[in-house]
Copies of this chain bind each other. A is one copy, B any other.
Amino acid sequence: MLQPAVPELTSIAHEHDALVIADTVTSIGGVELKVDEWGIDVAYAGPQKCLSCPPGASPLTLNDQAMEKVLTREEDARSWYLDLSLLEGYWGEERAYHHTAPITNVYAIREALRLVAEEGIEERWARHRRVAGALKAGFVAMGLEMNAPDEYWLPSLNAVRVPNGVDDGAVIDYLLEKYDLEIASGLGDLEGEIWRIGCMGASATPKNVSLVVSALADALQQQGFDADAGAAVDAVAEHL
């Protein structure tokens, strides 16, 4: 789900002298994200979602308050690898050796960010909203229900409810086998309840939306669910 209340949450946390860490893996490069403006103290991300970059190295940011917390901790970090005070010595002016950098992954992130800059970050957010909006319109038109209310809809990862009587795993297998298309199941409490359907980065294209919508309608029909493929295709076209 999208988390529109971030600025409110960080402001409450700060009133109580707490810092806020945000998982931005599925938002960075795909949906609006304003780390400093929203008062996020620490944010980590991944390069392999809306940045469309091979996984391996991850963006991370800490503001001054968070870094001070790191540098004044009472007990030493137990992990050498993830000790940010050591990483600070490596990344900072001191350049104290800490680890051998994953060079190819760093070049990959640089290239991914270059492509974001070329497109423009706000244009990129708009593309995700437009393209994933067509996906959502297609799902709804074929008779599916989105898991979250509209204000929490996350363009980059669309959580769709599994209709009653439909086997979520059978649909996943069918799509993979027949269309070479992978969608994900729900995790934890939502296991078997939803599908998670990505619309991220370089793959957030009208062409992919059309494929996913028609393939899913086919898979649902195989499962005996009366998916309206025609209405879905129309809705996609109209939205785009």
Contact = CB atoms under 8 A, between A and B. Distances in A.
A2 interface: no
Interface string A88-121: 0000000001001111110010000000000000
Contacts of A97: 187
A56 interface: yes
Looking at A81, A82, A97, A100, which has the most chain B CB atoms within 10 Å of its CB?
A100
A97 to B, nearest CB: 8
Contact of A103 (B55, B102, B187): B55
A156 interface: no
Contacts of A79: 78-79, 81-82
A102 B108 CA distance: 12
Contacts of A59: none
A81 B102 CA distance: 17
Nearest to A81: B82
A82 B83 CA distance: 12
Contacts of A48: 100
Contacts of A81: 79, 81-82
Contacts of A103: 54-56
Interface string A38-70: 000000001010000011110000000000000
A191 to B, nearest CB: 12
Contacts of A102: 54-56, 102, 105
A101 B48 CA distance: 10
28 contacts: A46-B100, A48-B100, A54-B102, A54-B103, A54-B104, A55-B100, A55-B101, A55-B102, A55-B103, A56-B56, A56-B57, A56-B103, A56-B104, A56-B105, A78-B78, A78-B79, A79-B79, A79-B82, A81-B81, A81-B82, A82-B82, A97-B187, A102-B102, A102-B105, A104-B104, A104-B105, A104-B108, A105-B105
Interface of A: 46, 48, 54-57, 78-79, 81-82, 97, 100-105, 108, 187
Given A48-B100, A54-B102, 10 more contacts: A56-B57, A56-B103, A78-B78, A79-B81, A81-B82, A82-B82, A102-B105, A104-B105, A104-B108, A105-B105
The 9 closest A-B pairs by CB, nearest first: A56-B102, A54-B104, A55-B100, A79-B79, A78-B78, A56-B56, A55-B102, A56-B105, A48-B100
